[in-house]
Amino acid sequence: MSFAQEKIDPKLTEVWAPKVKKVIPGYNNSPPSDAIVLFDGSGFDGWTGKGDTVGWVLNEDGSMTVKPKTGAIKTKQTFGSVQLHLEWKSPLDTIGKKSQKRGNSGVFLQDRYEVQVLDNNNNETYSNGQVGSVYKQSIPLAMASVPTGEWNTYDIIFHQPEFDENGKVVKKATITVLHNGVLIQDHFVIQGPTVYRGEPSYKAHGKASIRLQDHGDLVSYRNIWIREI
Ligand code: MG
């Protein structure tokens, strides 16, 4: 601190308003007090799927499991920028299943932008399609999966894209992902909706659902909550 700085009243740089809202954090894996609970094991009330029904299996342990060929499920409520928490588990049956065909699912922000769910334990695939990738766009910073059959966590911070009145993107979406507490995507700038072939490109859209992918594998999910930001 310089002599001149010592003369400045420190109170001049104290900010007392606005007052910060209180949030009671979750204990024993429960959601924080202001979260919207999307799935707590009690049912599929907040979800819809192919033909306006959810074909996935509700398990007695409070989780749900993909039922292959019944299609993706998505939240009835739509969201913009969010903090999303969810837990997922890869199926133990890995015999004969390689690369993208082992424990594949995915979490789509705004029904468009996929964070890959995949079992990459002793299972290589292309780096920008492995677990924790922003599929075909961003290689994760680490492979932080727990052993196959155990529960993983994803904590995702997503900022929605912004468009001008002509539908042109003026601010691209960004995403940060923690996988089991490990930073694997660090404010990555998403280049457009996830596509399997070719390059992504933005099209204007508003709020949209969180979608979970049915890729034909028996991936399970539990404890899904979200906070709008
Ligand atoms: Mg996938």
- CA separation for the pair 91, 121 (Å, rounded): 12
CA of 116 to the centre of ligand 1 (A): 5
Give 86's strand partners: 154
Q: What's the pTM value of the predicted model, to 2 decimals?
A: 0.95
CA of 203 to the centre of ligand 1 (A): 21
CA of 211 to the centre of ligand 1 (A): 11
What are the counts of helices (DSSP H) followed by strands (DSSP E) for the chain?
Answer: 1, 15
> What's the average model confidence in pLDDT over 22-49?
96
Q: Is the pLDDT of residue 109 over 80?
A: yes
Pairing relation of β-strands 73-75 and 47-49? antiparallel
CB 214 within 8 A of CB 66: yes
CA of 99 to the centre of ligand 1 (A): 11
CA of 216 to the centre of ligand 1 (A): 10
Q: Is the pLDDT of residue 72 over 80?
A: yes
CA of 117 to the centre of ligand 1 (A): 6
- CA separation for the pair 222, 84 (Å, rounded): 12
Q: Domain ranges in the chain?
A: 24-228
The CATH topology of domain 24-228 is Jelly Rolls (2.60.120)
pLDDT at 5: 80
pLDDT at 116: 98
CB 145 within 8 A of CB 88: no
CA of 25 to the centre of ligand 1 (A): 30
CB 189 within 8 A of CB 172: yes
For the chain, percent of residues with pLDDT exceeding 90: 97
CA of 207 to the centre of ligand 1 (A): 22
CA of 100 to the centre of ligand 1 (A): 8
- CA separation for the pair 208, 229 (Å, rounded): 14
CB 184 within 8 A of CB 144: yes
**How many C-beta atoms surround the C-beta of residue 17 within 10 A?**
5
The per-residue pLDDT of the chain, averaged, comes to 97
**How many C-beta atoms surround the C-beta of residue 105 within 10 A?**
23
- CA separation for the pair 60, 139 (Å, rounded): 35
CA of 105 to the centre of ligand 1 (A): 4
CA of 220 to the centre of ligand 1 (A): 13
CA of 119 to the centre of ligand 1 (A): 10
pLDDT tens-digit readout, 79-102: 999 999 999 999 999 999 999 999
